[in-house]
């Protein structure tokens, strides 16, 4: 039962302290016996309204007022802490149930500037996103952006096991530390051998280590940013076009559609399938595992299970390509 986890001591501890101090106070100020002092403190804190068991002098009256005020404050504080515990526990249980229902989702470890932009881009692409972050300030920022967030250190195994990594479609390791990202990639790959993993590497010399740990792609924000700035100078129109296509263009999007097991496309050529005529989208490239990339594939290219078609078109056209791939 969940209610057994909600311990009463949050309410009892401050109230017990008031009772002990009030009892000692009556014994010192009024010279009362232990039983009378305890009885007087209890009826004062609970405000039951019984008459005093011994006459009160000026000091005793001041002590009684203090016991009433401090006692009520202790009760309110204890109840606030108690209900906060209930709310936090229920929130955690709700989060766990939500994660248990997720599948083919994308996990973003780290919600700094890179992680935030990665999470927003994934959500804009229609993907389910789960964020994990250990910094409380960034956790609140992610919640404000309406992301599902697990608060914790992703380098810890118990945190990784709460993310549903074994059911995830993709994983982004983009904390600010290369060693942390390396450990996170290694843990994620151990839990899921099939999902696509992208890692951030501040040090270009760490790329090979990330690859050995299981990352499918390693991105250096500084290197990527420098190339983007250079392309913006040399090819400004092309860069603007790619930005619109890749990051939410009104008319055109770039998307990859994987040929799934049992697809009617398996074993057929691009000319036979005629994706352009059937969907209106254009297949501009084809990627075949492990690393065979074919730009502008010819109509005689035969499709195989697991091939990724890089298609250009509107959202509706790309949705039709996915329907054709699934049959």
Domain ranges of the chain: 2-99, 103-219, 251-326
Q: Quick one: pLDDT at residue 6?
A: 45
Arithmetic mean of pLDDT, 295-320: 90
Residue 197, SS3 per DSSP = strand
Residue 260 pLDDT > 80, yes or no?
yes
Same fold, 103-219 and 251-326: no
More confident residue, 289 or 106: 106
In the CATH scheme, what architecture does the domain 251-326 have?
Answer: 2-Layer Sandwich (3.30)
Which of 129-138, 188-197, 251-260, 277-286 is least confident? 251-260
Q: For the residues of 233-282, what is the DSSP string, one character each?
A: HHSHHHHHHHHHHHTT-SS-EEEEEE--TT-TTTT-BHHHH-HHHHHS-E
pTM: predicted TM-score of the whole model, two decimal places: 0.58
**Is it the case that residue 3 has pLDDT exceeding 50?**
no
Going from the C-alpha of 262 to that of each of 95, 193, 287, 324, the distances in angstroms are 35, 21, 18, 12
Say if domain 103-219 classifies as CATH 3.40.50.1970.
Answer: no
Asked whether residue 313 carries a pLDDT value surpassing 90, the answer given is no
* Cis peptide preceding 297, ω within 30 of 0: no
Length of the chain: 327
Sheet of 148-151, strand order: 148-151, 129-133, 106-109, 170-173, 196-200, 217-219
Pairwise pLDDT comparison (323 vs 3), residue with the higher score: 323
pLDDT above 90 as % of the chain: 42
The mean predicted confidence, pLDDT, of the chain is 84
pLDDT confidence bin for 10, thresholds 50/70/90? low
Average confidence (pLDDT) over 122-129:
89
- Report pLDDT for 269: 92
Which residue would you say has higher pLDDT here, 8 or 245?
A: 245
Residue 215, class by beta-carbon neighbours within 10 Å (0-12 exposed, 13-18 middle, 19+ buried)? buried
Q: Which of 21-35, 36-50, 228-242, 293-307 has the lowest mean pLDDT?
A: 36-50
Q: Judge contact between 118 and 34, C-beta under 8 A.
A: no
Cα distances from 316 to residues 126, 252, 255, 272, 278, in angstroms, run: 13, 10, 12, 22, 12
pLDDT for residue 202 = 85
270 neighbors 297 (Cβ within 8 angstroms): yes
Classify domain 2-99 by CATH architecture. Orthogonal Bundle (1.10)
């Amino acid at each position: 039962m969940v209610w057994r986890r909600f311990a009463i001591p949050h309410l009892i501890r401050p109230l017990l302290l008031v009772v002990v101090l009030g009892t000692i106070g009556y014994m010192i100020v009024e010279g009362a016996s232990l039983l009378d002092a305890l009885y007087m403190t209890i009826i004062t804190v609970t405000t039951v309204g019984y008459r005093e068991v011994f006459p009160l002098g000026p000091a005793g009256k001041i002590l009684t007022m203090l016991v009433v005020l401090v006692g009520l404050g202790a009760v309110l504080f204890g109840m606030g802490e108690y209900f906060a515990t209930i709310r936090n526990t229920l929130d955690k249980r709700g989060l766990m149930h939500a994660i248990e229902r997720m599948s083919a989702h994308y996990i973003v470890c780290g919600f700094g500037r890179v992680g935030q932009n990665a999470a927003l881009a994934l959500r804009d692409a229609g993907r389910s996103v789960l964020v994990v972050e250990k910094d409380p300030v960034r956790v609140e920022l992610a919640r404000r952006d309406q992301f599902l967030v697990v608060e914790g250190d992703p380098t810890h195994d118990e945190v990784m096991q709460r993310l549903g990594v074994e059911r995830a479609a993709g994983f982004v390791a983009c904390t600010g530390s290369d060693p942390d990202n390396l450990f996170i990639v290694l843990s994620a790959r151990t839990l899921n051998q099939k999902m696509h993993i992208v890692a951030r590497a501040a040090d270009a010399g760490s790329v090979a280590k990330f690859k050995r740990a299981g990352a499918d792609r390693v991105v250096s924000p500084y290197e990527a940013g420098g190339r983007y700035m250079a392309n913006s100078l040399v090819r400004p129109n092309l860069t603007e076009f790619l930005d619109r296509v890749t990051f939410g263009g009104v008319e055109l999007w770039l998307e990859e559609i994987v040929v799934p097991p049992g697809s009617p496309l398996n074993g057929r050529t691009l000319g036979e399938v005629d994706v352009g005529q059937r969907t209106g989208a254009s297949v501009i490239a084809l990627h075949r595992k492990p690393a065979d990339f074919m730009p502008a594939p010819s109509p005689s290219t035969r499709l195989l299970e697991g091939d990724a078609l890089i298609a250009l078109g509107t959202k509706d056209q790309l949705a039709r390509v996915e329907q054709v791939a699934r049959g």
